[in-house]
Amino acid sequence: MIEWIDLLTLMGIGMATMALLLAFVILVQFARRSLKQVKPKKVIIVQPKEIRRRTEKMSKEAREGVTFNDIFMFMIAVPLVLLWVGFAGFVIHTGLNNSAVLENIEAYTTLIAILGGPALLIIKDALDVWKQEQAEKTAFYKVKAQAVIDYNDAAQKQAQMVEAKEQEHEHKHVKK
């Protein structure tokens, strides 16, 4: 049977590997973005309007589908955060039940602190993105509500104008 110390050490090695993989992915993405800036310009061929498709009018983000950030979040960031939280919880639980872990607690807390830095940054960025999405939704609904109000106002004014014209028309025909 694997002892608690060995299991904690294996988990620590796994988390350190995840942190190195995270750093490698960030470097690769930085290199890709740097190389994109050196690319030659594309030649744009203008097509007649009847040949153009609706998708050409879509924004670049809408056409991309799965982005690097999606892959990064699901392959690196999410497991890193879950491992960090799991490892911290496991160290606490094991430390309460095993005095050998308490003897090496400084090493484990140092590892938790080192790996917690990137995990906390990832959590903060995820919350910032969520707040931005919520702000965009709020702004969209404000615009939509104002459009409904304006539409209802215009429809009411038009109905009043039509009714006034009908009354005016009736009044002219009654006088004759």
pTM, entire model: 0.44
Tokens of 104: 């090496």
Instruction: Check: CB of residue 81 under 8 Å from CB of residue 119.
Output: yes
What DSSP state is assigned to residue 44? P
pLDDT category at 65 given cuts 50, 70, 90 is low
Q: What is the pLDDT of residue 16?
A: 76
Tokens of 11: 């988990």
80 Cα distance to chain centroid: 17
Least confident of 92-96, 132-136, 154-158: 92-96
Output the DSSP codes for 74-86.
IIIIHHHHHHHHH
Tokens 């038009």 sit at which residue?
A: 158
Q: What is the pLDDT of residue 153?
A: 95
Total Cβ atoms within 10 A of residue 121: 11
Note the pLDDT tens digit of each residue in 8-20: 778 778 777 877 7
Tokens of 84: 């960090």
Note the pLDDT tens digit of each residue in 33-45: 777 765 555 656 5
Assess whether pLDDT exceeds 80 at residue 4: no
Encoded amino acid at 37, one letter? Q
Average pLDDT over residues 115-130: 82
Q: What is the pLDDT of residue 38?
A: 57
pLDDT category at 59 given cuts 50, 70, 90 is low
Q: What is the pLDDT of residue 14?
A: 79
173 Cα distance to chain centroid: 65
pLDDT category at 152 given cuts 50, 70, 90 is very high
Least confident of 61-75, 110-124, 156-170: 61-75
Mean pLDDT of the chain: 77
